[in-house]
Amino acid sequence: MAGDTLTSSAYIKHHLTNLTYGNLPAGSYCEGHQVVNEGGWQLAECGEAAKAMGFNAIHLDTMFWSIILGVLFLYFFKKAADAVTTGVPGGLQNFAEWIMEFIDQSVRGSFSGRNSLVAPLSLTIFIWIFLMNLMDLVPVDVIPHLSALMGVHFMKVVPTTDPNATFGMAIGVFLLVLYYSIKIKGVGGFVGELTLQPFSSTNPLVNALFIPVNFILEFVSLIAKPVSLALRLFGNMYAGEMIFILIAIMYSAGTFMGLFGGVLQLGWAIFHILIITLQAFIFMTLTIVYLDMAHHEH
């Protein structure tokens, strides 16, 4: 597929475009290949049409793969729970117990409060993100080529290379942080945390002058949490996917470059396993740390 019918730039653009469904205004798009006489909800046939759909467009491939991988996670762990035995455990039970112990140690090491939600949330975040990241090891042309045979224009199979997915998870964590900050500290305590530190004074007038400065500093620090969570995961996975795509282009540049590309692809895939796991672990660990901070009363 690399280089057969597309230029290198068109090939890269194709593999980095989501299957987008949205309300497309009337007009001519995709160099005249998609002409819309009356605006309505439909699939975009190029990036230009996807951009014209605006904020309310849905990335169907991101939704599909993230939900499928989430269901697989629930299925296999439910299967392990149903088959649990006090005797000699099977392979699936061994794997599930190893993951549970790993998550338990991570939570105990980073979370000092008492909350029965943190451990299950950490398990879900780690496994789900790991599975989504793992899709990056699928050869870049396999699933898009199969999708093209079924008439689907685009198919991005790594949900974490879509900022909509990473920001969605980060905002979910952020809302939990806000909820527990207010629940544990109260509205007054949470507002005080944003306005009465890091600068304070025993003089009431000076302290009042410090309030807007403190609020700006603490508000930026608060908002930086979901932004950094989302962009760190997205940036690393997007860069990894881009490298795989660039290596795939080498297969169309002759036998020598194809062999060299194969060696590069194997080496990058082995190294990328570390990135895949590390990014899932970092997202999970920061979630635990942020929730721990939300449970602390200053």
pLDDT at 135: 94
**48 in any annotated domain:** no
Confidence of residue 168 (pLDDT cuts 50, 70, 90): very high
Contacts for 277 with CB less than 8 Å, ≥ 6 apart: 130, 133
- Examine the pLDDT at 291 and tell me if it is beyond 80: yes
Mean pLDDT score of the chain: 89
**255 in any annotated domain:** yes
Domain that holds residue 130: 8-18+60-294
Structure tokens at 286: 């920061």
Enumerate the active-site residues. 228, 232, 236
pLDDT at 104: 92
Cβ atoms 291, 180 nearer than 8 A: yes
Question: Which one has a higher pLDDT value, 235 or 210?
Answer: 235
Residue from 222, 108, 215, 240 nearest 170 by CA: 222
Q: How many domains does the chain have?
A: 1
**97 in any annotated domain:** yes
Structure tokens at 7: 């230029």
Residue from 184, 176, 157 nearest 225 by CA: 176
Angle (CA) 159-162-168 rounded to 5° is 85
- What is the residue type of 191? V
Confidence of residue 256 (pLDDT cuts 50, 70, 90): confident
**271 in any annotated domain:** yes
**3 in any annotated domain:** no
**279 in any annotated domain:** yes
Tell me the C-alpha distance between 75 and 64, whole Å: 16
Which pTM value belongs to this model?
0.89
**35 in any annotated domain:** no
**1 in any annotated domain:** no
